[in-house]
Structure 1
Amino acid sequence: MDAQPTRRTPEDTRRQIIDMAIEIAADQGAMGVTLDAVVARLPFSKGALLHHFPNKLALLEGVIDHLASEMTAAVLAEAARDPNPYGRNARAYLRTIVYEPATERDFSIGRAVLAACAIQPSLTPRWRAAMGALAVDDPDDPAGKDDALMLRLIADGLWMSDLFGTHEVSPEQRKALLSLLTPGSLLTDAYGESAE
């Protein structure tokens, strides 16, 4: 008896479309992401693509939502390993952004996302909302909120520098820079050790 071919679910199709759009963005930048370019690389009709994404904006929204979801999952997984609740999400954000080794493909995708948001500003609030949801650290402690914001801004600054190659920061320099945040800051975990 022959095995029946696996039927693709609508979610599988949607995910394939998003993955291909991300691949094109990494290769060609945000301007290269068109409905025709995506469908040309996939084994189904333009009608299937249009069923999920009726236009380029909808496709870019799907890409932004997917990448934000992946980032959120990575930060929350990192936070789950941290025993100290004070500043946990900020430290997890810093670890995820700064310490995860990024590839040139990651940077290409990052540049494409930035370009997409510049071309289509309505995409920016989607990313902002996802990252804002991760900024929930000790809401009753104003000083803790300031420390958490500081860590996020440092992480974002290092990420932007890495993304555009603005400053070459060696692993040693990165560690030294981050150690400038004194013990007792949010970089210190529950055991009083550097949260690297």
Structure 2
Amino acid sequence: MANAHMRKKEPDKVRRSLLDRTAKLAVDQGPAAITIQAVATAAGVTKGGLLHHFANKQALLEAVFADLLKQLTDEIDRYMAEDPQPFGRFTRAYVRAAFADHKLGVRSPWAALSVTMVADPGMRRLWSDWLDGHLAAHRATDDTPLLEIVRLAADGVWMADLMGQDRAEPRDMTGLEPQLLALASRPPSA
């Protein structure tokens, strides 16, 4: 770091490294391990370099969370592109994404940052804005009580998985995904 001023400036790469290192610290050591110094050290920059990109720890955490939401959006978009049935398409993609995260288990950055999301108003706002935006965009195809129940059930599976990570025997939830997908494929009652 002594020759940092001689390095070629690549702010996008530095920012990406800071986001990735923060997520990795959360996965490897838990959210409590995320400090400005720990992230700066892991990314090979000074604390001042980190603070050039993110004003404080909260801004860094929110940027990591926003980055995870972008990844979730991309994943859901991929699932939606593969689904030819318009009705319930977003909900089925949401379920698939929830179960894909379930299959990742404790290695998932979502698992590491979930507790922070529940306790932090800024993170909850980011999540709520993300979900509200997607629900508004898919109102024509995914705005029924049954599809809302399916999405809430997927959230419940995700939360149960998170809360049960310390269980000696993990719950077998493999049969739930096809059931939720089947419910999300039912046409609305006439």
Q: What TM-score range do you get, normalising by the shorter chain?
A: 0.7 to 0.9
Q: Quick one: distance in 2 between partners of 1:187 and 1:94?
A: 12
Name whichever of 27-36 and 132-141 sits farther off: 132-141
| Structure with greater proportional helix content | 2
Q: Distance in 1 between matches of 2:184 and 2:118?
A: 32
Structure 1 gap segments, 5+ residues each:
1-5, 190-196
Change (3 A) 1:182 1:94: closer
Q: Within 5 A, what are the aligned runs for 1:15-164? A: 15-99=16-100, 101-106=103-108, 109-136=109-136, 139=139, 144-164=143-163
Aligned partner of residue 43 in structure 2, secondary structure:
coil
- 1:168, 1:135 → 2: CA distance? 30
Structure 1 residues 62 and 138: alpha-carbon distance in aligned structure 2, compared to 1, 3 A threshold: closer
Give me the whole-angstrom Cα distance separating, in 1, the residues matched to 2:111 and 2:138.
32
Q: Which has the larger displacement, 114-123 or 58-67?
A: 114-123
CA RMSD of aligned residues (A): 2.7
1:64–1:123 Cα contact (<8 Å) kept: yes
Structure 1 residue 118 displacement after superposition:
4.1
Distance apart, 1:11 and its partner CA: 1.6
* C-alpha contact 1:89 1:137 (8 A) present in aligned 2: no
Q: 1:20 deviation in Å?
A: 0.5
Q: Is the 8 A contact 1:138 1:145 kept in 2?
A: no
Could you tell me whether the CA contact under 8 Å between 2:21 and 2:42 is conserved in 1? yes
Distance of 2:9 and 2:79 partners within structure 1: 32
Partner deviation per Cα, 1:112-153 (whole Å, 9 max, x = no partner): 3222234432221102211222324763579x4212211111
Q: Under a length normalisation based on structure 1, what TM-score does the superposition of the two structures give?
A: 0.77
Residue deviations 1:1-50, cap 9 Å, x none? Answer: xxxxx956312111100110111111222121110110111222222111
Q: Which runs of 5+ in 2 are unaligned?
A: 1-6
Q: Does 2:166 align with 1:168?
A: no
Query: Relative to structure 1, is the Cα distance of residues 41 and 90 closer, same or farther in structure 2, using a 3 angstrom cutoff?
Result: same
What amino acid does structure 1 have at the position aligned with 2:85?
A: N
Question: Against the structure 1 CA distance between its residues 36 and 79, is the aligned structure 2 distance closer, same or farther, given a 3 Å change threshold?
Answer: same
State the partner residue of 2:10: 9
TM alignment of 1:180-195, pairs within 5 A: 185-187=183-185
Question: Identity percentage over the alignment?
Answer: 30
